[in-house]
Structure 1
């Protein structure tokens, strides 16, 4: 009898099964997470596994062979140490600026006594919307070595001779930190503002009744309640510091800077992997960078108590 079933009835049956599957409560969660799973495998897991394999290979046009740990042993060179030092110093400076300064500014912008709060919030977030290519070009002109450059023109009013900002190690690092701080301070303010607005006002009112001052409220209520978002900002800032590339590339107009004063780890990956066509060695540098950021973040998360079990 089943053989005599018309195609229209079979089509309706299959459509009913498909509709039942789509509207099933058991299948719905898998359908919702399917785009993330597909993108995770295509754009994260597969490239990462492929990069790990490439780190143990010598890749040349038409030739690919396994060479063991040779790429990692080649990391012991002055250029890599210089790139690691520059990235570490840059990350430390950005942490010293991009955590306390946005925190203080967010507290002021969240205050009911602040005038024109919306204007200042917008003004501080606008740099984050600016292209890093445009921002890097503008900062390269600001920190130019000629007398007519903006910063040297300003110093000229005080009788200071022009400074070659992007040639000296200390001033080049200052330019990099200034560019990063200008671009990302508004984003961190936004993070802290969202956390501040979730703190119940009842806590401040109770503290005020008990006679607490504004500084005591900030120390005993605001800062402890901001601990989770502070740890989050610290984590992404560490990653962002070590992953910095475009800012350095735009300030010096390429991956080569005088005596490698602007060389970062990602810039070293770009130079060795793409410009020098040494993909295996570039992959080894990338895996090393991943391990460095992973270890540092695990240490700071453990130090801040994120791995402790809640009572």
Structure 2
């Protein structure tokens, strides 16, 4: 008979180093995983904000900087800055009035059972968001040109109206910006609302139907309350997008010099002072002012929606 070799148990566990114990600690591990985000956030957001805040109190010229206190903030309070703030405010308010209700209604229609070709409509509405802002702005600049042969002038003249200087008038220029914003972002906001609608339990609608609730009552009493978090999120990013708008205006008017500054925004004024005039201190002051305006508006709207108070 063959003799069986004795079974020897081998312990493969090696003693861990102090670093390994810290790394595998359940207390330390979560912080290790979020560390890349913290570093990225600190380097690309926190540091630039504090740097811009420091620069806003300085006069910076090539190779030299000088502390000037609040002079930059006093200098930006001029008619041109007020014009930029007014343009940005009007654009933001009008985009909120369009980019919240329209995508919401379209999302409800796409989520309904009677809607056909849902995937085709969803893809069609989302495709503009994949288009470069530069390409979209160039196409809209040609479509809304002053020549009689441009697309929009061809349409209005065929209807019996006179040709328009779309990009030379205050309100027609703003309307062009709004059409461009709606064309690009309706599909994105629609997907947000559609995702929220698909997470609402269908049993709620079935129970409401059994109780005799109309479609409108189901929308106001079930859909809207359940979509509140999504609506607040879309509202917040739309405020930021409106106040930070620059590229669309820059491309639409082929630069940062629109007629009578009808397309000048806060970011456009920052670009003009910081890069065109190479006054980095003044540009930093404009950036800090924009940050303050955005924070104030966002806090007000979040307070209004009740995000800062506990619901009973």
TM-score normalised by L of structure 1:
0.93
Q: Per-residue CA shift, 1:31-64, capped at 9, x if unaligned? A: 2101101101100000000000000000001110
Query: Is 1:131 aligned with 2:160?
Result: no
| Aligned positions of 1:8-157 closer than 5 A | 16-157=17-158
Paired residue for 1:195?
196
Moved more, 16-25 or 108-117: 16-25
1:279, CA displacement in angstroms? 0.5
- Matches of 2:306 and 2:28 in 1, distance apart? 37
- Matches of 2:77 and 2:223 in 1, distance apart? 46
- Matches of 2:119 and 2:133 in 1, distance apart? 24
- Matches of 2:61 and 2:31 in 1, distance apart? 42
- Matches of 1:301 and 1:23 in 2, distance apart? 39
1:16, CA displacement in angstroms? 4.5
- Matches of 2:239 and 2:193 in 1, distance apart? 17
**Matched residues, number:** 300
**Structure 1 segments of 4 or more deviating over 6 A?**
12-15
Secondary structure of 1:147's counterpart equals coil
1:78, CA displacement in angstroms? 1.0
Paired residue for 1:238?
239
Query: Is 1:298 aligned with 2:294?
Result: no
Query: Is 1:172 aligned with 2:173?
Result: yes
Q: Per-residue CA shift, 1:261-280, capped at 9, x if unaligned? A: 00000000001101110000
- Matches of 2:114 and 2:25 in 1, distance apart? 52
Q: Per-residue CA shift, 1:141-166, capped at 9, x if unaligned? A: 11000011011111121222211100
- Matches of 2:243 and 2:128 in 1, distance apart? 21
Paired residue for 1:221?
222
Paired residue for 1:5?
none
Secondary structure of 1:74's counterpart equals helix
Structure 2 unaligned spans of 5+: 1-12
- Matches of 1:19 and 1:234 in 2, distance apart? 45
Paired residue for 1:162?
163
- Matches of 2:38 and 2:173 in 1, distance apart? 42
Q: What value does the CA root-mean-square deviation take over the aligned residues?
A: 1.4
Q: Per-residue CA shift, 1:139-190, capped at 9, x if unaligned? A: 0011000011011111121222211100011100000111111111111001
Name the CA shift for 1:14/1:61 in 2 (closer, same or farther; >3 Å). farther
- Matches of 2:274 and 2:233 in 1, distance apart? 31
- Matches of 1:153 and 1:42 in 2, distance apart? 51
- Matches of 1:220 and 1:195 in 2, distance apart? 15
1:25, CA displacement in angstroms? 2.2
Paired residue for 1:310?
311
